[in-house]
């Protein structure tokens, strides 16, 4: 059985403890969470959780059913196989000694990132994109010296409301 990555978009009641029910379900049943992003939707009573997991077909079926079984889960959408847009934002604190500054800025330009903070010995770079773009820039900055990074986790939306796999 092949293990595949799945982007799950989960609409839940925006109530205390709901995230803990979701996370508890994953840890309690031994499912994996690659990334997780949560925020309120247009409807303040509803939150959207974008969760990325890796699982084979029977396990992903169980994950979706188990999620649906939670009383506070309104809807679970597995985007895998559907047309969707996904983005992740990363902040990268990169070592920026004077001899590297110009080179870093060139890369920022090529990748259409932004420098959002400048220090005596560092830049903080903001970049948004899909996995491959983020991986590419991290790879290029690594030899120069990455001090720290933070990722938002993937967020995703279906292109067309009505196309589901």
Site residues for another protein per CB under 8 A: 12-13, 16-17, 20-21, 24-25, 28, 58, 61-62, 65-66, 68-69, 71-74
CB of 65 vs another protein, minimal distance in Å: 4
Which C-beta is closer to another protein: that of 8 or that of 113?
8
Shortest Å distance, C-beta 22 to another protein = 11
Q: What is the DSSP string of 38-100?
A: EEE-SSTTEEEEEEEEEE-HHHHHHHHHHHHHSTTEEEEEE-TTS-EEEEEEEEEEEE--HHH
Q: How far is the CB of 61 from another protein (least distance, A)?
A: 6
Q: 14 and 72 in contact (C-beta within 8 Å)?
A: no
Nearer to another protein, 27 or 131 (CB): 27
End-to-end Cα spacing for the chain? 20
Q: CA-CA distance, 54 to 33, in Å (whole number)?
A: 7
* CB of 12 or CB of 124, closer to another protein: 12
User: Among residues 15 and 97, whose Cβ is nearest to another protein?
Assistant: 15
Q: How far is the CB of 137 from another protein (least distance, A)?
A: 39
User: How many residues make up the chain in this entry?
Assistant: 165
């Amino acid at each position: 059985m092949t293990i595949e990555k799945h982007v799950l978009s989960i609409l839940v009641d925006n109530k205390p403890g709901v995230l803990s029910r979701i996370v508890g379900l994953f840890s309690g049943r031994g499912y994996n969470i690659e990334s997780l992003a949560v925020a309120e939707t247009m409807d303040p009573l509803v939150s959207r959780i974008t969760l990325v997991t890796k699982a084979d077909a029977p396990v992903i079926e169980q994950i979706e059913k188990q999620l649906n079984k939670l009383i506070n889960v309104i809807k679970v959408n597995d985007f895998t196989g559907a047309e969707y847009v996904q983005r992740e934002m990363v902040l990268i604190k990169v070592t920026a000694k004077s001899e590297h500054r110009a080179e870093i800025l060139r890369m920022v330009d090529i990748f259409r990132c932004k420098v959002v903070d400048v220090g005596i010995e560092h830049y903080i770079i903001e970049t948004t994109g899909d996995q491959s773009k983020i991986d590419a820039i991290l790879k290029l900055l690594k030899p120069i010296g990455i001090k720290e990074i933070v990722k938002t986790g993937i967020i995703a939306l279906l292109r067309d409301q009505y196309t589901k796999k």
